[in-house]
Amino acid sequence: MKIKDLKVVYDAQAIAARVAEMGQEINRLYAGEDVVVVCVLKGAFMFFADLVRHLDMRPELDFVRVASYGASTATCGTVSFTKDVEVPLQGKHVLLVEDIVDTGHTVDFLFRQLAARGAKSLRLAALVDKQERRAVPVRVDFAGFALPGGFIVGYGLDYAERYRELPGIYEAVIEPEGA
């Protein structure tokens, strides 16, 4: 698969405006509470960095990374940690930050794992809620944008580790095999 062209889906300005709104929603919900905000690497790094700058409850920040096995473009049911949380979660509110929810397997795995650490509540902020391939039901508490389908890159999202640095989100136009 080769990317032939990129079409803007959400530009940097639209993303910044939506992320600011999400930050305010999150602030209202957690005012005065102990919150751990957890970034799911790598894809969420840019959204996380922008989102936490809007948060005013002085949260603890942590990072996780997971690996999934199976087809390269869709997460299957086998997910495991390659980097676990380091901050104790017992009795604290946990906000998981994802760039995109696709099949739902990654979030489903993380919610089960983090719930077992005694978190007081678990919520999810996802910049893009992509429902086309959802295999496991997932509640997205704070959703940036709902996208029906398509292959997107940029603002943290990659194709073969490239395009993550782009300030906007783009739909990738794929060159047909053998072209």
Would you tell me which residues interact with ligand PRP (CB under 6 A)? 40-43, 68, 74-75, 98-106, 158
User: Can you point out the beta strands (E) in the chain?
Assistant: 2-10, 35-41, 60-68, 79-83, 93-101, 121-130, 142-147, 152-153, 169-175
62 in catalytic set: no
Min separation Cβ 166 and ligand PRP, Å:
14
Min separation Cβ 173 and ligand PRP, Å:
19
Cis peptide preceding 42, ω within 30 of 0? yes
Closer Cβ to ligand PRP, 33 or 133, answer by number: 133
Closer Cβ to ligand PRP, 57 or 143, answer by number: 143
Token reading at 103: 């099949």
Catalytic residue (one of 50, 99, 102, 129):
102
Min separation Cβ 42 and ligand PRP, Å:
4
Are 168 and 15 contacting, i.e. CB atoms less than 8 angstroms apart?
yes
Closer Cβ to ligand PRP, 13 or 80, answer by number: 80
Residues 6+ away with beta carbon under 8 Å from 151? 73, 159, 171, 172, 174
Are 99 and 126 contacting, i.e. CB atoms less than 8 angstroms apart?
yes
Which residues are marked as active site? Answer: 102
